[in-house]
Amino acid sequence: MKYFTIILALIFCTTSGFGQQTPAPKQKNPIAIIGAVAHIGNGEVIKNSTIVISDGKIANIVNADEVQLRLSSDVQVVNATGKHVYPGFIIPNTTLGLVEIDAVRATDDKSEIGGLIPHVRSLIAYNTESKIVESMRPNGILLGQITPRSGRISGTSSVVQFDAWNWEDATVKTDDGIHLNWPSPFTRGRWWLGEDASIKLNPNYQEQIAEIVSFFNGTKAYSEGSQSPTNLTYNATKGLFDGTKKLYIHVNDEKGIADAIGFAKDNQVKSMVIVGGEEAHKVTELLKQNDVPVLLARVHSLPDGDDDDYDLPYKRAKLLVDAGVLVALENSGDMERMNARNLPFYAGTTVAHGLTKEQALQLITSNAAKILGIDKDYGTLETGKSATLFISEGDALDMKTNQLTHAFIDGRSISLETHQTELWHRYEEKYKTQQ
C-alpha cells in the first residue's frame, strides 16, 4: 500500500503544478523587427537590420543603413534597437521529449527492447507537453533532432520544433536518419567484479562488425527483391541506400571512426554522419575526403585520454573547422536533457578557444541544419526561409546576456514562460516582500 501511495504521489507531481504553455496561434499580421544586430547564421552580420515576417516566412531582411523599407499600416513593429536577432538554435541527437522523469519508468520512452531495431520511430513517442522541452525556449533552442537510444541500431530519429500540440504538429522532418552504435575496438574489465580494469583489445570486435554487415546485406537484398512479405526492420533501412535517410554512426575512437567510414562506403550508404567524434580531430583528412560531417560530443567535458590536452574538448571544434570538416554540436551523455539548455554556452566556450563568434554560431544553426537536412527552411536568416528566430538583449552565446525578449517559430510568436520562470517570479516576489 505504501508503494502505491508513493507512485500516486509521483504521478500527481508530474501532472499538477504549472502546465505547459499553450502553443502559439498561426501568424496573422506581418511583423517587422527593426534596429537589431542580425546574426544571419552563415558568418554574416547586419548591424542595423530590418526583418519582415509574413505568413510564417522571412519576407525580407535588409541593412537599414542602405535600404529603407516602406511598411504598410497593418505591420506590427518590434523595436529591437540595441538587441540581437538570431536563427533558432538547433540541438541534434537529443532525447528531449522522450523522458520526463528518469525515476518514473512510465515517462521513459527513449529505448526499446532489441539490438537491431531501425523501425522503432522516436517521433511517435515524442511528448510535446514536456516541461523540459519547454525550458529550452528561453535560451533560444527552438528545434531538435529527437533520437532513440540503446541497442546496436537504436531506431529512427526525426526533427521537430518546440511549440506544438502534438507530435504531428511538431514535425519538421520525419524519419531523417537511422542511428547505429558502433562497437568499440577496445574494452576493459568490470572492476566491480574483480576483473582487470585495464584497457585491452575487444576480442569480439570483428564479430560485432560482422553482425552489422550481415544485417545490411539482408537489407540490400530485400531492397532489390520483391519486398514481400514486408520486413519492418529492412523496410525502415532502405532509405540509407537511396539517400532519403542518413546513417548516424555513434562512435568516438580513431579506429572506430575509420572503420565506420569504411563500412559505410563498402555498403553503399549514400550519406553518413559521425556522432560523438571525440577523436575525430585525429582523422580530419579522412573525414574531409569522404565528406563526412561530425556532430561533436559535449564541449563541457573532461579529456578522455591521459595524454590529451586539458582543453581538448573546448578546442576540438576549432581543430575540425580549421580542417574543413562540417561540424555541429550535440549534447548526449549524463543529464543530457537537463543540460541541453546550455547548448549556446557550449558554442560560446568554443569562442574562448579559437573560433570567432559567428563560426561558433554556425555550430548550432546553419551547420546543424545542413547535417540534419533542414537547411532549405531553417538555420539562417534569409528571405524565403522559415521565420524561426529570436531576439536577445545581448550576445546569445554568453550566459550573462542570453536574455530573450521575443521568439518566433514559423512566424508564430511563442511564449517564453516556463515552470522555471514562473517559480523565479514567485520567489522573487517572496523575497521582495521580506526586504
Percentage with pLDDT > 90 across the chain? 73
Strands 186-188 and 272-276: unpaired
Residue written as grid cell 506581418:
30
| Alpha carbons 144 and 288: distance in angstroms, whole number | 25
Report which of residues 20 and 158 the model is more confident about. Answer: 158
Residues 6+ apart with CB under 8 A from 377: 172, 385, 386
pLDDT at residue number 157: 97
Whether pLDDT at 71 is above 90: no
Whether pLDDT at 296 is above 70: yes
Q: Residue 328 pairs with which residues in a beta bridge? A: 295
The confidence band for 3, taking pLDDT boundaries of 50, 70 and 90, is low
pLDDT at residue number 420: 85
pLDDT at residue number 14: 44
Average pLDDT on 39-43 reads: 96
Per-residue CA distances from 383 to 58, 67, 73, 79, 111 (Å): 5, 15, 21, 20, 39
pLDDT at residue number 13: 46
Cell of 381: 536568416
Whether pLDDT at 190 is above 70: yes
Report which of residues 202 and 40 the model is more confident about. Answer: 40
Average pLDDT on 79-106 reads: 94
Angle at CA of residue 264, ends 373 and 374, nearest 5° = 0
Helices and strands of the chain, counted as H and E runs? 14, 18
pLDDT at residue number 108: 87
pLDDT at residue number 228: 85
Report which of residues 192 and 58 the model is more confident about. Answer: 58
The confidence band for 191, taking pLDDT boundaries of 50, 70 and 90, is confident
pTM of the predicted structure, to 2 decimals: 0.91
pLDDT at residue number 428: 85
What's CA 251's distance to the chain center, in Å?
17
Per-residue CA distances from 367 to 288, 326, 349, 361 (Å): 15, 7, 17, 9
Average pLDDT on 67-80 reads: 89
Per-residue CA distances from 160 to 90, 141, 327, 343, 389 (Å): 10, 11, 20, 17, 15
| pLDDT tens-digit readout, 110-121 | 989 899 999 999
In the predicted model, what is the mean pLDDT of the chain?
A: 91
Domains located in the chain, CATH noted:
24-88+379-435 (2.30.40.10), 89-378 (3.20.20.140)
| pLDDT tens-digit readout, 319-357 | 999 999 999 999 987 788 888 999 999 999 999 999 999
pLDDT at residue number 435: 67
pLDDT at residue number 55: 95
pLDDT at residue number 200: 87
The confidence band for 182, taking pLDDT boundaries of 50, 70 and 90, is very high
Strands 412-413 and 404-409: antiparallel
Cell of 105: 519508468
